[in-house]
Structure 1
Amino acid sequence: MTLFSFSFIGPFLSTLIFCFIALSYSASLGAEEWGSPPIRPISSLIRKKLFHSIFLHKDDSACPAKNFYSYKSFIHASKHFPKFGTTGSLATRKREIAAFLAQISHETTGGWATAPDGPYAWGLCFKEEINPQSNYCDASNKEWPCYPGKSYKGRGPIQLSWNFNYGPAGKALGFDGLRNPEIVSNNSVIAFKTALWFWMTERKPIPSCHNVMVGKYVPTEGDIAANRTEGYGLVTNIINGGLECGIPGDARVDDRIGFFKRYAKLFNVDTGPNLDCAYQKSF
C-alpha cells in the first residue's frame, strides 16, 4: 500500500512549473510595472553614439584635450559612483546626466559664438587651466597642506582646483592629490572620477549637486532667505557661485544654461525650473 496517490504528482508538478514561469516573467518585466526598478548602468541611458553627438568636437585638433576624454573612461569612472544617473525616475536620471555633462562642458569649453555646430558643441576641449593666475594654494588650510612646487590649478572635466579639493578627492579616489595633482590631467579615468566626486560629495552646509538634481535637496532657513531654490541654477551656485551668482545676465551662467538646454533636448527630457542663479546669494 502506498502512502500517497501517484495521481497527485501531475497537478503538483504543474503548479511548480507555473510558479517558476510566473517568477521568471515577473523578473523580466519593466521597472514601472513592479514598483522597485532595477539599478541600470548609465550606459543604458547614454550610449557611445549619444556621447559623441554631445561632444562633437572634443577630439578636434584645435582642442588641447584631443583623444583624452573617452566614452570608455567616462563609463568606467561612473561605476565608482553607483547612485549617479541611477536615482529617481527615468526623466530624473536623464536630467542629472545632462546637467553634469553641461556643467563640465562649460568648464572645458573651446566654443565661441560662431563656432561650427554652435558654441554648445565644444565641451571637453581642455583638460587643464590655461594661464592660471596663481598656484591655487590656500596656505591657511592645515588639513590639506600644499606640497612645495605644486600647482593646484584647474584640471579635468570639472576643472578641480585648490589644495582643499585635490587633497580629499585624492583620498577618496586613491591617489595623492597633494603630491601628484598632475595625474588629473594625465589619466582620463581619474579625471572623470574627480568631476563625479565633486558632483556627488556634500560639503555641509553646501549640498551635493547630485542631491539637488534628484530632488533630495532640503533647503535650510538660510537657503530660503538667500533664494537658493532647487534646480540647475543651484548647481551652478555650488560649483562657482562666488563668482557667477547674484549677477543678472551673467554670460558664464548663460553659457552653462545653453549647454544644458542642448543636452536636455538630446536626452529628450525637460530641464526643470530655476535654471539660473541670478538672484541667489552664493554659499
Structure 2
Amino acid sequence: MLQVAMTSKVAGFVTTLFMMVMMMVPKTVSAENIDRIVTQQFFDMIINQADGDCPGKNFYSRDAFLKAHNSYHRFGNMNTEDDSKREVAAAFAHFTHETGHFCYIEEIGGASRDYCDESNIEFPCAPNKGYYGRGPIQLSWNFNYGPAGQNIGFDGLNAPQTVANDPVVSFKTALWYWMEFVRPVMNQGFGATIRAINGYLECNQGNPETVNARVYYYTQYCSQLGVAPGDNLTC
C-alpha cells in the first residue's frame, strides 16, 4: 500500500509539473484562429470609414481576406499570441493607408505612370499592360506582378488587372508580398515594415507625414487588439 501511495504521489507531482511547464510555453495562434483576430467588427471598423461611393466598398471583404488567408496560413501565426496580433495590426495598418480604408482598388492616376522595369529579363513587361498599384498593398512593378502571379496562380504579367477584378486574388497578392518581404523584418519593429513597403520614398524624412499616418493606424489597431505596439515604430 505504501508503494502504491508513493507512486500516486509521484504521478501527481509529474502531472502538476507538466501543467506548470505548459503554462510557461508562449501561446500561439493557429491558422484556423485568424478569424478570431480579424473579426467582422475589426474589418468593418476599417472599411466603414471609407466613403459610401468608394469602389472598394463592394470589392474588399473579410470573407475574401479569409479565403486568401487559406493560401498563406502562416500570416498572423507567429511565435506568441501578442506577436500574431501585432502582425495583423501592422498589415492592416498598411492596408488602410495604401487603400484609404479599403476605398481604392487601384492606384489613383496609376495608369499614367510607368512601372515597367525593362532591365528585368526574368519578368519582362507585356505590351500595353500597366503594373501600377493594385490591391490592399498596392502591388506595383512587373518584378512583383510576375512572381506574385506564379505563386498565386494567375498571369501576373499578361493579366495584371486580375488583382483589381478578383478580391481573393487581390488579398493574396498583399499576403504574398507581406510574407516575402515584410514578415522577415517584423522582429525589428513596425518601422522596419514601413521601410520594406515604401521605405525609399518615405523613410529617412522622405515623407514623415505618411510615416506618421501608418504609425497612427498601427497603434490604433494594436490598442483594439489589446497588445502593446512595441519599439522602433518609425523609420
Shorter-chain TM range is 0.7 to 0.9
The alignment partner of 2:161 has SS state of: helix
1:63 and 2:54 correspond? yes
Q: Which residue of 2 aligns with 1:137?
A: 116
**Once the two structures are superposed, what CA deviation does each residue of 1:77-98 show, in whole Å capped at 9, x if it has no partner?**
1121121101111111111000
Equivalent-residue separation in structure 1 for 2:158 and 2:177 (angstroms): 19
Q: How far is 1:168 from its partner?
A: 0.3
Q: Find the counterpart in structure 1 of residue 44 from structure 2.
A: 52
Query: Partners of 1:38 and 1:106 in 2: how far apart?
Result: 26
User: Where does structure 1 differ by over 3 angstroms across 4 or more consecutive aligned residues?
Assistant: 31-38
Equivalent position SS for 1:41: helix
1:212 positional shift: 2.3
* Residue number among 147, 152, 155 corresponding to 1:168 in the alignment: 147
Tell me the secondary structure at the aligned position of residue 50 of structure 1: helix
How many residue pairs align between the two structures? 215
Per the normalisation by structure 1, the TM-score is 0.71
Structure 2 distance, partners of 1:82, 1:242, is 29
Task: Return the match for 1:190 from 169, 186, 189.
Answer: 169
Secondary structure of 1:139's aligned partner? coil
1:74 CA drift (Å): 0.5
1:66 partner SS: helix
Alignment-derived partner of residue 43 in structure 1: 35
The unaligned stretches of length 5 or more in structure 1 are 1-21, 110-122, 202-207, 216-229, 278-283
Residue identity opposite 2:164 in structure 1: S
Within 5 A, what are the aligned runs for 1:1-283?
Answer: 33=23, 35=25, 39=30, 40-58=32-50, 60-109=51-100, 123-132=101-110, 133-201=112-180, 208-213=181-186, 215=187, 230-247=188-205, 250-277=208-235
**1:260 aligned counterpart, secondary structure:** helix
The alpha-carbon deviation at position 248 of structure 1 amounts to: 7.2
RMSD of equivalent CA atoms: 2.1
Deviation at 1:32, TM superposition (A): 5.5
Work out the CA distance in 2 between the residues paired with 1:139 and 1:160: 17
Fraction of identical pairs, as percent:
42
Secondary structure of the corresponding residue to residue 57 of structure 2: coil
Instruction: Compute the displacement of 1:55 (Å).
Output: 2.8
Deviations 1:147-169 (A, max 9, x none): 00000010000000000000000
Greater fraction helix: 2
Give the CA deviation at 1:50. Answer: 2.1
Note the residue ranges of structure 2 that are not aligned, 5 or more in a row: 1-14
Could you tell me which amino acid in structure 2 is paired with residue 51 of structure 1?
F
Larger Rg: 1
Contact 2:115 2:142 in 1 (8 A): yes
TM-score using structure 2 length: 0.85
Instruction: Name the CA distance, whole Å, in 2 between partners of 1:237 and 1:38.
Output: 26
User: C-alpha distance in 1, partners of 2:151/2:82?
Assistant: 29
Give CA deviations for 1:86-130 in whole Å, capped at 9, x if unaligned: 111111111100000001111111xxxxxxxxxxxxx11100011
Instruction: Report the AA paired with residue 43 of structure 1.
Output: D
